[in-house]
Amino acid sequence: MSQILLIHSSVHGYTQKICDYLQHQLAEQDQQVTVSSLSDAPDLAQFDKIFIGASIRHGKHRPALYQFIETHRAELESKPSGFFSVSLVARKPHKNTPETNTYMQQFLNQSAWKPKLLQVFGGNLDYQGYGAMDRNIIRFIMWLTKGPTDPNTQVEYTDWHKVDQFAQQIIEA
């Protein structure tokens, strides 16, 4: 049984939802799992494995993610660890793998930490859950990328079977 830490960098709470789902899946396999936000992460030394999930906001992972990684890089590299990115771009079949997702590639280019376990998940589109500025920016981006622009749209693009597979990879790491 491993002590696993799942850290999320989430703006609207969807990456946290994925971490909570992973926690449930891992607990069913007798793993001890703690979920934490990036800003409230406990001492990493307490854990056998560490995995970070981060959402995309306005085309980027948040700067705090990179600061956290730089601060804790030695600990992240000293034990099994991994990273997953959550974005609406990953809703597209040709952009939903670590190798084909632009945001994951940007992360790998910008981060000194090179985790072995990587994954990309489609996010949640909920126009009514956004403020006016975000709603308009996201609608424009969706228009450019041929996604839904109806302001009443609410759709999860997450492939939960893929999340289940990631949970199994965490156990095996």
Residue 36, H or E segment? strand 32-37
Where do the H-state alpha helices sit in the chain? 14-27, 63-77, 102-110, 132-144, 160-172
Separation between Cα atoms, residue 152 and residue 154, nearest integer Å: 6
Residue 18 in tokens: 């994925």
Query: What average pLDDT does the structure give for the chain?
Result: 95
For the entire predicted model, the pTM comes to 0.94
| pLDDT tens per residue, range 62-83 | 999 999 999 999 999 999 999 9
Strand partners, 126: 154
Of 85, 80, 82, 81, which is closest to residue 105 (Cα–Cα)?
A: 85
